[in-house]
Amino acid sequence: MRPIDFWFSIGSTYSFLTVMRLPVYVREHGVKITWRPFNVRSIMIEQKNIPFADKPSKSAYMWRDIERRAAKYGLSASLPAPYPLQNLALANQVALLGMKEGWGEDYAVATYRRWFQQGEPAGSEPNLSDSLKEIGQDPVRIIEIANSAQIEDALALETEKAKTLGVFGAPSFLVDGEVFWGDDRLDDAVSWARSGRVV
Amino acid sequence: MRPIDFWFSIGSTYSFLTVMRLPVYVREHGVKITWRPFNVRSIMIEQKNIPFADKPSKSAYMWRDIERRAAKYGLSASLPAPYPLQNLALANQVALLGMKEGWGEDYAVATYRRWFQQGEPAGSEPNLSDSLKEIGQDPVRIIEIANSAQIEDALALETEKAKTLGVFGAPSFLVDGEVFWGDDRLDDAVSWARSGRVV
């Protein structure tokens, strides 16, 4: 089976669905997926890809679509969640540090839950520290490292890598050079990883 | 079962997938779906929703995604197809007349096939006349009526109706006041028609 990379940004609305269902999905489907946080906003601004701002009809649809799909997956959500995030970069710098240290997936789930279920924006207080405490991490230590030039640069590098691979939005699944964009393309990506085609 | 309206525009790329697979899909799933052509371009321009122009990364993805999904559905396609269409309005005025006269679905399939498989833009010659001849209709009579103020106004009215219902893109499925946008939401729409939820 080909490896699958899950490129996501804390700040992306549809990534809520994937982040919340992926831990169960990988167990049930027996697949291994690498979580790769990046800064989707900087790519989208650069590519003039502004899907929701100043588009009330499409925005209203997006929230309703997420609401229906969350119900399908058995996820509770209090929508619309506060959007857009003020501290998208920091939220993902923390996630990147967490992926290096081994607690990144738990943090992503915890911070999305607080954002989409309790209405507390990810990347800001109290969400940031409370999510870290919830998963047994020290907010003071982590926020200091996450704000360092080293982690800032590392996120920029990952974002550049995503762009080079053809990623223009989040969530995206990368398999074998193929981009699968959207939570609704997860099955397609897994199919490609297994057989080199979408079935 | 609640009625399902299929709002589509000849000119929309993803509508290719739905138009081509829908005749078989409705038979296999035992559902009834009403085809409603409209002018998606006028809504998208009005709403500043310009998904592909000047967005090479997203455009490249769109064609690749359609290619993979066409293969999944067993549809052949020669991609990218010529895009955007020059005569989108006329293509859909013909479709609207066809829906009134009973040959609209056959025309939509025929014209998409010529557009996506043979590279002839829909709404222009030779696609327009050849598609009509292929389904046993007289191009001279039909193009004259389709160009009349009556049919122009009727398409504008349908487009206004779509916008009022919350449609911002094509294809869209409307069930029970719910919008389901995208070929990949057809199953969700049918699920909603059957049970009032997405399962």
Domains, chain A, ordered by start: 4-195 (3.40.30.10)
Give the whole-number percent of chain A exceeding pLDDT 90: 90
Query: Which residue, B37, B33, B41, B39, is CA-closest to B3?
Result: B33
Q: Is B171 exposed, middle or buried (0-12, 13-18, 19+ CB in 10 A)?
A: buried
Choice between A77 and A45, residue whose per-residue pLDDT is larger: A77
* Residue A16 reports pLDDT greater than 90: yes
Closest Cα in chain B to A67: B198
Q: Which of the residue ranges A64-73, A109-118, B42-51, B100-109 would you say has the lowest mean pLDDT?
A: B42-51
DSSP B125: T
| Helix/strand/coil for B143 | helix
Q: Give the pLDDT confidence score for residue B50 in this predicted structure.
A: 72
The answer to whether residues A159 and A44 touch, using CB atoms and an 8 Å cutoff, is no
Chain B partners of A166 at a C-beta cutoff of 8 Å?
A: 57, 60-61
Q: Which residues have a Cβ under 8 Å from the Cβ of A107 and sit 6 or more positions away? A: A94, A95, A98, A131, A132, A135, A137
By Cβ distance, the residue of B57, B168, B180 closest to A168 is B57
Select the residue from A68, A75, A188 to test the B interface by mutation, using most B Cβ atoms within 10 A: A68
Closest CA to A22 of A176, A149, A167, A187: A187
| pLDDT tens for the 199 residues of chain B, in order | 999 999 999 999 999 999 999 999 999 999 999 999 999 898 878 877 677 677 788 899 999 999 999 999 999 999 999 999 999 999 999 999 999 999 999 999 999 999 999 999 999 999 999 999 999 999 999 999 999 999 999 999 999 999 999 999 999 999 999 999 999 999 999 999 999 999 9
Q: Other C-beta atoms within 10 Å of B107: how many?
A: 26
Residue A90 tokens, joined: 């920091």
Sheet holding B33-37, edge to edge: B33-37, B4-8, B172-175, B178-181
Using an 8 Å Cβ cutoff, are A146 and A137 in contact? Answer: no
Q: Which chain A residue is nearest to residue B164, measuring alpha carbons? A: A57
Residue contact A61–B181, C-beta within 8 A: yes
Q: Does residue A80 have a cis bond before it (omega within 30 degrees)?
A: yes
Q: What does the angle CA A103 – CA A119 – CA A127 come to, to the nearest 5 degrees?
A: 35
Q: How many CB atoms lie within 10 A of CB B101?
A: 12
- If you search the block for the tokens 């990368």, which residue do you land on? A174
Contact B198 A49 (CB under 8 A): no
Interchain CB distance below 8 Å, A168 and B49? no
- Say whether the peptide bond before residue B3 is cis (omega within 30 degrees of 0): no
Residues 6+ apart with CB under 8 A from B167: B7, B38, B40, B43, B174, B179, B181
Tell me whether residues A166 and B48 touch, CB distance under 8 A.
no
The secondary structure of residue B12, as a DSSP letter, is: B
Comparing CB atoms, the residue among B55, B68, B192 nearest residue A198 is B68
8 Å CB contact of B58 and A169: yes
A169: chain B residues, CB-CB within 8 Å: 58
Please tell me the predicted confidence (pLDDT) of residue B46.
82
- Provide the pLDDT confidence category of residue A184 given band limits of 50, 70 and 90: very high
Kind of pairing between the strands at B4-8 and A178-181: unpaired
Handedness of CA A185, A187, A193, A195 (dihedral sign): negative
Q: What are phi and psi of A85, to 5 degrees?
A: -75, 145
ipTM of the complex: 0.92
Q: Quick one: three-class SS letters along chain A? A: CCCEEEEECECECCHHHHHHHHHHHHHHHCCCEEEEECCHHHHHHHCCCCCCCCCHHHHHHHHHHHHHHHHHHCCCCCCCCCCCCCCHHHHHHHHHHHHHHCCHHHHHHHHHHHHHHHCCCCCCCCHHHHHHHHCCCCHHHHHHHHCCHHHHHHHHHHHHHHHHCCCCCCCEEEECCEEEECHHHHHHHHHHHHHCCCC
Choose between A33 and A41: higher pLDDT: A33
B58/A49 Cβ within 8 A: yes
By C-alpha distance, the chain B residue nearest A166 is B57
Token code pair at residue A184 = 């609704």
Q: A64 contacts in B (CB within 8 Å)?
A: 178-179
Burial of residue A131, with CB atoms counted within 10 A of its CB: 0-12 exposed, 13-18 middle, 19 or more buried: buried
